[in-house]
Structure 1
Amino acid sequence: MRPSFVAGVAGVLVAASTYGQYASGARGWLLAMEIVLGVAGAAATPLLARRPVGTALGLAALAAVSPTVTPTATIGTLHVASFGPLPVAAGVTAAGVGAHAVRGLWLPVPGLPYGWWLVLVVACHAALLAAGALGQTRRALIASLCERAERAEAEQGRRVAEARAAERAALAREMHDVLAHRLSLLATYAGALEYRPDHPPERLATAAGVVRAGVHQALDELRQVITLLDDDPAGTDRPPPELADLPELVEESRASGTEIDLRDTRPAPAEVPGPTARTAYRVLQEALTNARKHAPGQPVRIALDGAPGTGLLIAVCNPLPDAPAEPVVPGAGRGLVGLTERVRLAGGRLDHPVTAAEFRLSASLPWPA
């Protein structure tokens, strides 16, 4: 039901009451004037949507001369209080109080003193102002909560996207570290089979067996890398390699024909903690892989030093060939980039300068006391 229709019906009822109470001596013209003003006030109600303040003040002025305009004047005051600024709403409310106070002077309510009339008028308009302000506050609060919910949802989506990107980057680094080392060994043995078919059958069979075993190991390591994304840790057959597995890594490289000089001057009883040990293993694995890819046949020197509380120091260097060698395994050139990020996340630092004569890789990792 539209407010203007309700206001019109209320105006007619007020006019009938006024007709019965105050117009006993001039019933015809007074009743007609009340009805006309009540209908005019109801017709002006839709203007509140476009010009709320002016319409509300006009209705308040009509309420000063006609009780039938009181319902529509009340709607105007409530509308301004609900959607307008508080100072403007307070001004319109004061205008409504003044209009009804003026009407009470020339058209008093029988049996009700003028003072009590003013109290009722002020209380009713104050209630209208408070209701409008409360409605504004409620709408503003709901809008603020909706905005905060949207921001929180967007922030959560951003965090999920960042977590996924970080997981993909970690998986890519792990796959590179694992497979590049294994495939470079396979390429070395496969190259020997291709370029030296005159080897004795026993040596060719041995090399072919190494290639076959290496393929199985590569597939096994690839399976372990993929299980990093699985929520069930039971799917991993063995723990990731650590620094304690360095002798096996060195023997694999020596078996492929790389001469390695390993010097480990760390204190014997001290053990490198798990995260640092895994990072150190990946550093040495990448260094040996790069040596086989870019400087095949050149000797590699590895030095390990450090102690708990001072940190772990890793140094790897190998001479460069006179002419650039074609890599035995094509690479994307991202191994050292990913390795640098891995070391940085572990709290260490990685440097890999290249001189005219040799390639050097040095890393420092934290080793808590």
Structure 2
Amino acid sequence: MQELPTRNRSALLCAGQRWANVAAVLAIGGFSAATIVGRHANGAERSWLVLDIVVGIVASGLILTLARRPVPGALALAVLAAVSPAATPASTSGTLTVAQRLPLRTAVLIAAAGTVGHLVQGLWRPIGNLPFLWFAVLDVAIHAAFLGWGQWTQARQQVLDSLRERAVRAETEQGRRVAEARSLERTRMAREMHDVLAHRLSLLATYAGALEYRPDSSPEKLAQAAGVIRVGVHQALDELREVINVLRDEDVYEGRPQPTFQDLEALVAESRQAGTTIAYDDRVDDSTTLPPATGRTAYRVVQEGLTNARKHAAGRPVRLTVAGQPGDGLRIELTNPAANGASVTPGSGTGLVGLTERVQLAGGSLDHGKRPDGGFRLEASLPWPS
């Protein structure tokens, strides 16, 4: 259903409030009329008829003031109750209204004023054979009951408002947490694909460098390198498109399956195919028990190390050692000699910063830096519970 405009909703609320006020005036007027008829049924108070009618009409009209000015309206009704029993329904209604809307101290004072007004009424206009003592007891009991009822209603409404506010706040917080979770998930996946894209581009740079520095290669090798570059460019474009989709879409992007420790062999083979000489020493016992998150982090460590080796020490051999067992942790060490010349592709240095953060989040540690002979060493230690 389409929502009504704000102006129309306000008009409906105002109209509903007006009808509620009319209904309240008519109800109180009806009770006042019944009170007048009851007091004058035997004709003993005929001289007070005109006063009671006037007071009943005025008291019914004062009901409208309780919505905006409850305290003055209730005090005026208490004064009228001292003059005529026709104001009793309106006066007790004023006591109840104040008890429902204002603090206990103010409500007690208004209830006391109404009680005093009715006590004055009972002194000079007693009800038939009802003793004044019993009238006073009933007066106090009725006003105390209205006071307690109003305060209970107010407390219940406050509890409901508090619960409603908590529900709204919880819903808002839930929405914020969902948005933060989506943002973190997008950032994580964008970082994963950034690593893949950097690895892919470094491979392309290696093949392009081979074409540039070895133009005398055979046509078959040139065609093979050009084909690898063409396929790699298409893959890099697809991966870049995935990164953009992750950062743009509000919904969590599923993306491609994440790598595992078992994919290290394929990663090393891909780097070897690109011309990098890699001495791979695998000393891992029972890699199937390695936690998936640890295996994925290990894959990213090796991927970043091979990528940096191709960037900054192209053509130099790389030694990769991976060792570990359950309960002893997983250790990764990747070393390469110093570069012969300038880097094939420049680097910003943010890859190792992000890798350090990734390893620390996995509960491990990462150390990297130059060796005394000018080479580079990358070493990571990851937890592997028994």
Query: CA shift at 1:217, angstroms?
Result: 6.8
SS in 2 for 1:312: strand
Residue pair 1:240, 1:278 contacting (<8 A) in 2 also: yes
Letter in 1 for 2:50: A
Aligned counterpart for 1:360 among listed residues 352, 355, 377: 377
Structure 1 residue 168: Cα displacement: 0.9
Greater alpha carbon shift after TM alignment, 334-343 vs 276-285: 334-343
What stretches of structure 2 of length at least 5 have no aligned partner? 1-21, 247-251
In structure 1, which of residues 79, 82, 86 is the aligned counterpart of residue 97 of structure 2? 79
Deviation at 1:324, TM superposition (A): 4.3
CA contact (8 A) 2:111 2:143 kept: yes
How far, CA to CA, are the matches of 1:248 and 1:62 in structure 2?
96
Matched, 1:297 2:297: no
Residues of 2 paired with 1:115 and 1:284: CA distance?
96
Residue aligning to 1:93: 111
Partners of 2:199 and 2:313 in 1: CA distance? 14
Structure 1: how far apart are the matches of 2:233 and 2:315? Answer: 22
Cα distance in 2, alignment partners of residues 73 and 315 from structure 1: 89
- Cross-structure match for 1:339: 355
Could you tell me how far 1:350 is from its partner in structure 2? 2.1
Change (3 A) 1:96 1:317: same
Which letter maps to 1:345? L
Q: Which whole-Å deviations, capped at 9, do the CAs of 1:159-205 have from their partners, x for residues lacking one?
A: 11112112212211221222322332232113322443221223223
Q: What is the CA-CA distance between 1:152 and the residue it aligns to?
A: 1.3
CA contact 1:315–1:361 (8 Å) conserved in 2 = yes
Gaps in structure 1 of 5+ consecutive residues: none
Matches within 5 A, 1:213-362: 214=232, 240-264=258-282, 266=283, 268=285, 273=290, 274-321=292-339, 324-327=342-345, 334-354=350-370, 357-362=374-379
Do the aligned partners of 2:316 and 2:337 also contact (CA within 8 Å) in 1?
A: yes
CA-based RMSD of the aligned residues comes to 3.4
Q: How does 1:127-142 map to 2 (within 5 A)?
A: 127-142=145-160
Count of aligned pairs between the two proteins: 357
Partners of 2:220 and 2:111 in 1: CA distance: 107
Aligned counterparts of 1:45 and 1:240: Cα–Cα separation in 2 = 72
Structure 1 residues 362, 300: closer, same or farther in 2, change over 3 A?
same
**3-state secondary structure, aligned to 1:64:** helix
Deviation at 1:336, TM superposition (A): 2.6
- 8 Å Cα contact 1:241/1:278 also seen in 2: yes
CA distance in 2, matches of 1:276, 1:5: 77
Match of 1:110 among 120, 124, 128: 128
2:247 counterpart of 1:208: no
CA contact (8 A) 1:57 1:92 kept: yes
> Once the 2 structures are TM-superposed, how far is the Cα of residue 333 of structure 1 from its aligned partner?
5.0
Q: Normalising to structure 1: TM-score of the pair?
A: 0.82
Distance 1:85 1:41, change over 3 A: same
In 2, distance between residues paired with 1:14 and 1:269?
Answer: 95
Q: Which residue of 1 aligns with 2:143?
A: 125
1:7 aligns with 2:28: yes
User: Does the residue aligned with 2:319 lie in a helix, a strand or coil?
Assistant: strand
1:197 aligns with 2:215: yes
Counting only pairs closer than 5 Å after superposition, residues 114-193 of structure 1 correspond to structure 2 as: 114-193=132-211
Letter paired with 2:376: F
Q: Deviations over 1:290-348 (max 9, x none)?
A: 11112222332323333321211112233443764250xx7665433332333233221
> Any idea what SS the aligned residue of 1:337 has?
helix
CA offsets, 1:65-103, max 9 Å, x none? 311111221121111111111232123223322322332
Of residues 40, 44, 48, the one that matches 2:66 is 48
**What is the identity percentage for the equivalent residue pairs of Structure 1 and Structure 2?**
55
* Aligned residue number for residue 16 of structure 2: none
